[in-house]
Amino acid sequence: MAASFLDMQSSDAAHHLHPFSDNGKLAEQGTRIISQAKGVYITDAEGRRLLDGMAGLWCVNIGYGREELIDAATAQLRELPYYNSFFQCTTPPAIELAELIGEIAPAHMNHVFFTGSGSEANDTVIRMVRHYWATLGHENKNIIISRHNAYHGSTVAGASLSGMKPMHAQGGLPIPNIVHIDQPYWFAEGRDEDPQEFGLRIARELDSKIRELGVDRVAAFIAEPVQGAGGVIVPPESYWPEIQRICDVHGILLISDEVICGFGRMGQWFGADYYGTTPDLMPVAKGLSSGYLPIGGVVVSDRVADVLKSKGGEFHHGFTYSGHPVCAAVAVANLRILREEKIIEYVRDEIGPYLQSEWRKLGDHPLVGEARGVGMMAALELVASKDPLRSFEDAAAVGDIARDLAIENGLVMRSVGSKLIISPPLVITKTEVDELITKASATLDAVATSQL
């Protein structure tokens, strides 16, 4: 017989250390045990059904329960559950997936290096970028510029590229030669300025930083098209073209971290397509397999791949699960669904615009300082007062209260400080969006009457 909910909870508290959690506190509070899911809904072990406004963790792009992915995994498990892509070997699903990614990626990107996750993808990015410049005879061109409040993963390399102070404080990060500049977060850091002017000014910090460090030292700039974990921070329109121009002028590599924005979330295959940039490298994960199995990778431009292949020699890097055949087979099935069911177009033309227009209406609520978003990701800035604009003193506490009230209302949202954010499955229907908005609105009312 299945263990009871309370038995499972206490067993979890006794043995399981959770990511990004205060595990002492969590053991006292008890975890929510999610046991089933279908479409855009998850069900917990107490039988409560919740609309999953976060698509798991920004990843279940095609929704839960797609038989095609289950069939692809079981067929591949029977045929060949594992083999590696080292030592002159490869497997049919890894070949097929690499080819498919080449087809959907921007025209100048035709290679992929597989990893198990987005963090491993960004570890790969650091090593590949440095190897690229060293191969060209520029050993000292090894500084990577990133941004404050960026999220690029949680390994030593990923956390170093990330711009999150609490992460750096644990374990003596960042590693050397990673430098951070400001983020294009207009609501929090630029409200006194015209948004487009602000976007340009922040982008030009990249230029100043390159000049300060010396172009012979700077290898690359890395950024998420839209910052996800930082709080769905959508840059002003002026930002990305200026970043691209600066990277081009100095000839440094542009890395577009597509772990969240990739595979349709912005109504294009990649965030780079949305903003019209031409990255040299794109770390990917999450939506690549819709989270059904762990797989990530780095999509590599011809500029970089040609150097690596023609004169890079052996790249001393790789993972046991690079190109794992079962994960790759599931990713192939996922990409076929995204393509054949025209889900990217659905986000671009129908459900994205609908979600955004309904979400903007939440901006009328007295607690909401800004309602923003793009495609299938959106944020609410909760404020103590709108006029004059005043933030909450304990931002994290407000966010946590709001998130818990959302769950009581049957909706999963994520809180980032005093922001409430969503990133639902791309296949969500208009009726389900209406339900999401109604529940988010009821949550705001409940927050307003709670003991803040």
Residue ranges that bind ligand PXG, judged by CB under 6 A:
57, 117-119, 122, 151-153, 158, 224, 228-229, 257, 259-260, 285, 296, 414
Residue type, 167: M
For residue 410, the minimal CB distance to ligand PXG (Å) is 21
Residue with Cβ nearer ligand PXG (257 or 358)? 257
CB of 389 to ligand PXG, least distance (A): 25
What distance in Å separates the CA atoms of residue 349 and residue 7, rounded to the nearest whole number?
47
Pick between residue 93 and residue 118 the one whose CB is nearest to ligand PXG: 118
Query: Which tokens sit at 311?
Result: 């004169």
Closer by beta carbon to ligand PXG, 119 or else 277: 119
**Minimum CB separation from ligand PXG for residue 46, in Å?**
24
| Identity of the residue, 178 or 285, whose beta carbon is nearer to ligand PXG in the bound complex | 285
* Least Å from the CB of residue 216 to ligand PXG: 28
Which run of H or of E encompasses 72?
Answer: helix 67-79
Residue among 27 and 167 whose Cβ is closer to ligand PXG: 167
Q: At 83, which helix (H) or strand (E)? A: none
Q: Are 290 and 62 in contact (CB under 8 A)?
A: yes
CA distance readout (Å), 225 to 42, 347, 367? 28, 17, 28
Nearest approach, Cβ of 119 to ligand PXG (angstroms)?
3
- Give the nearer residue to ligand PXG in terms of CB position, either 222 or 368: 222
Q: Which is nearer to ligand PXG, 153 or 236 (CB)?
A: 153
Q: How far is the CB of 229 from ligand PXG (least distance, A)?
A: 3
Closest distance to ligand PXG from the beta carbon of 150 (Å): 8
Which residue from 264, 265, 257, 331 is spatially nearest to 293, judged by alpha carbons?
Answer: 331
Minimum CB–partner distance for residue 379 and ligand PXG (Å): 12
**Between 131 and 414, CB nearer to ligand PXG:** 414
Distance (Å, whole) CA 437 – CA 125: 38
Residue count of the chain, please give it: 452
Give the burial string for 381-416 (b: 16+ CB within 10 Å, else e). bbbeeeeeeebbeebeebbebbbebbbebbbbbbbb
Indicate the burial class of 239 (C-beta count within 10 angstroms; 0-12, 13-18, 19 or more).
buried
Peptide bond into 388 cis (omega under 30): yes
Q: Is 144 helix (H, G, I), strand (E, B) or coil?
A: strand
